């Protein structure tokens, strides 16, 4: 019985392979997702696929044969404790890493925008070991040291030893890392207000897309950030050149941005509806499947299970 975070849940959604080439028909959508053909028409293939995958996972659990392994997160060497690695699952609901944020400490001599040399990686490893060996996290929490004590120690020992720039005394290593939190749904779900909100979105979309060309264009809002030349070249292939030239780049981008927001909102609401309908709150995932899929048990939960 495993619990996963929103981030992990989304990794699963993004790595399910079963319907790569299969289109979701209007009929299927109305029978299996939500009975509203207009809502169906607002989503393009990519969104429909994601919605279907959510419904599939929520209804069936999942079988590893359908999945690509989730990618292992790369270590960016920017923090003491966050080191990338396999995504994790949890077995205790009160696990501290399922909280919304946790404390970490910055590696002060790293420029995150630049690739590190092997020597720098070695130095980060040494810094992490030093920080942990000195037990600064615990000492700060228990108020046995203050931040400027750590800065003083760093300047006089670590920076000196490795010929690094010293830090100003008001420097802080401390930083809060926000994680995606325990996969959650609202404690209650009002189906009527969901229906009303969806109707409002569909009405707004309808008002925006009175013109036949605009109705078609709403499916191409993924182009909204393309550079001008590429955007126009692609649109000329799909639409009448006169329409594109008359409507103009600024209006096109504005339309795409506005419609994209509407669709994103409809998408999120539909996913929440599915999570609620299929009882995600009480859902737990199969640990063997998760491990096969590339997850590992979170280290906090592991320690707790040994202690029990
Ligand atoms: Zn855990």
Per the CB < 8 A criterion, the answer to whether 202 and 263 are in contact is no
Report the separation in Å between the CA atom of 303 and the middle of ligand 1, taken as the mean of its atom positions.
9
Angstrom CA distances, 106 to 60, 77, 154, 173, stand at 41, 9, 12, 5
Q: Residue 11 in 3-state DSSP?
A: helix
- Catalogue the E-assigned strands of the chain: 88-89, 101-105, 174-178, 296-297
Return the pLDDT at 64.
Answer: 53
Q: For residue 178, what pLDDT band results from cuts at 50, 70 and 90?
A: low
For 21-25, 84-88, 119-123, 260-264, which range has the lowest pLDDT when averaged over its residues?
21-25
pTM tops 0.85, yes or no: no
Query: Residue 61's pLDDT is what?
Result: 56
Helix, strand, coil: what percent of the chain each, to 5? 55, 10, 35
Determine the distance separating the centroid of ligand 1 and the alpha carbon of 294, expressed in angstroms: 16
Percent of the chain with pLDDT over 70: 86
In terms of Cα–Cα distance, which of 238, 209, 208, 211 is closest to 223? Answer: 238
Question: Could you read off the pLDDT of 47-62 as tens digits, one per residue?
Answer: 888 888 888 777 765 5
pLDDT mean over 128-155: 92
301 alpha carbon to ligand 1 midpoint, in Å?
4
Beta bridge partners of 177: 102
- Mean pLDDT value of segment 192-207: 94
Instruction: Band the pLDDT of 185: cuts 50, 70, 90.
Output: very low
Query: Does residue 281 or residue 111 have the better pLDDT?
Result: 111
CB 39 within 8 A of CB 199: no
> What is the distance in A from the centroid of ligand 1 to the CA of 5?
10
Distance 95 CA to ligand 1 centre (A): 5
pLDDT in tens, 9-39: 777 777 776 655 567 889 989 988 899 999 9
Give the separation between CA 26 and CA 3, rounded to whole angstroms: 33
Distance 101 CA to ligand 1 centre (A): 13
With helix as H, strand as E and coil as C, how does 53-110 read? HHHHHHHHCCCHHHECCCCCECCCCCECCCCCECCEEECCCCCHHHCCEEEEEECCCC
Contact predicate 185/276, CB 8 Å: yes
Q: What pLDDT is recorded for position 214?
A: 94
pLDDT of 277 > 60? The answer is yes
At residue 63, the pLDDT reads: 57
pLDDT digits (tens, 9 = 90+) for 213-264: 999 999 899 899 999 999 999 999 999 999 999 999 999 999 999 999 999 9
Å from CA of 49 to ligand 1 middle: 30
* Cα(287) to centroid(ligand 1), Å: 13
CB 221 within 8 A of CB 253: no
- Residue 3, pLDDT > 90, answer no
CA atoms in the 13 A half-sphere facing the CB of 33 = 29
CA 84–ligand 1 middle distance (angstroms): 15
Grade residue 83 by pLDDT with cuts at 50, 70 and 90.
Answer: confident
Surface-to-core class of residue 180, CB atoms within 10 Å of its CB (0-12 exposed, 13-18 middle, 19+ buried)? middle
In angstroms, what is the span from residue 96 Cα to ligand 1's centroid?
7
Average pLDDT score over residue span 201-208: 95
Q: Tokens at residue 242, please?
A: 């006169």
DSSP 8-state assignment for residue 50? H
Q: Give the model's pLDDT for residue 227.
A: 95
The mean of the pLDDT values for the chain is 84
Top pLDDT among 279 and 242 is at 242
Residue 74 CA to ligand 1 center (angstroms) comes to 20
Per-residue model confidence as pLDDT tens digits over 284-298: 677 777 787 788 888
**Residue that has been written with the tokens 């290593």 in this structure:** 173
CA distance 58 to 275: 7
Query: Residue 17 contacts by C-beta under 8 Å, 6 or more apart in sequence?
Result: 66, 67, 68
What is the 73 CA–ligand 1 centroid distance (Å)?
Answer: 17
Q: Distances from the Cα of 46 to the Cαs of 19, 133, 207, 300, in angstroms?
A: 11, 48, 24, 36
CA 288, CA 239: separation in Å to the nearest integer? Answer: 50
């Amino acid at each position: 019985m495993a619990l996963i975070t929103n981030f992990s849940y989304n990794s699963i959604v993004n790595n399910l392979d079963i319907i790569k080439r299969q289109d979701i028909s209007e009929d299927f959508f109305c029978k299996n997702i939500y009975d509203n053909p207009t809502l169906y028409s607002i989503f393009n293939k990519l969104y429909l696929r994601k919605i279907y995958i959510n419904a599939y996972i929520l209804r069936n659990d999942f079988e590893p044969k359908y999945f690509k392994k989730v990618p292992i997160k790369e270590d960016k060497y920017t923090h003491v404790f966050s080191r990338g690695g396999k995504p994790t699952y949890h077995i205790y609901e009160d696990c501290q890493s399922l909280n919304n944020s946790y404390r970490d400490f910055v590696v002060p001599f790293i420029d995150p925008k630049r690739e590190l040399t092997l020597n720098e990686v070695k130095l980060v490893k040494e810094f992490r070991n030093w920080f942990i060996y000195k037990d600064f996290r615990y000492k700060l929490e228990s108020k046995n040291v203050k931040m400027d004590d750590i800065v003083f120690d760093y300047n006089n020992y670590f920076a000196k030893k490795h010929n690094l720039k010293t830090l100003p005394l008001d420097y802080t290593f401390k930083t809060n890392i926000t994680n995606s939190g325990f996969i959650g749904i609202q404690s209650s779900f009002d189906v009527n207000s969901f229906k009303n909100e969806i109707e409002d979105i569909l009405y707004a979309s309808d008002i925006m897309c009175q013109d036949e060309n605009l109705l078609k264009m709403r499916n191409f809002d993924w182009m909204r950030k393309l550079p001008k030349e590429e955007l126009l070249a692609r649109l000329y292939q799909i639409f009448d050149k006169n329409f594109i030239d008359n409507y103009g780049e600024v209006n096109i981008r504005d339309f795409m941005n506005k419609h994209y927001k509407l669709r994103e909102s409809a998408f999120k609401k539909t996913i929440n509806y599915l999570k609620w309908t299929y009882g995600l709150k009480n859902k737990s995932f199969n640990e063997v499947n998760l491990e096969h899929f590339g997850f590992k048990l979170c280290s906090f939960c592991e320690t707790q299970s040994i202690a029990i």
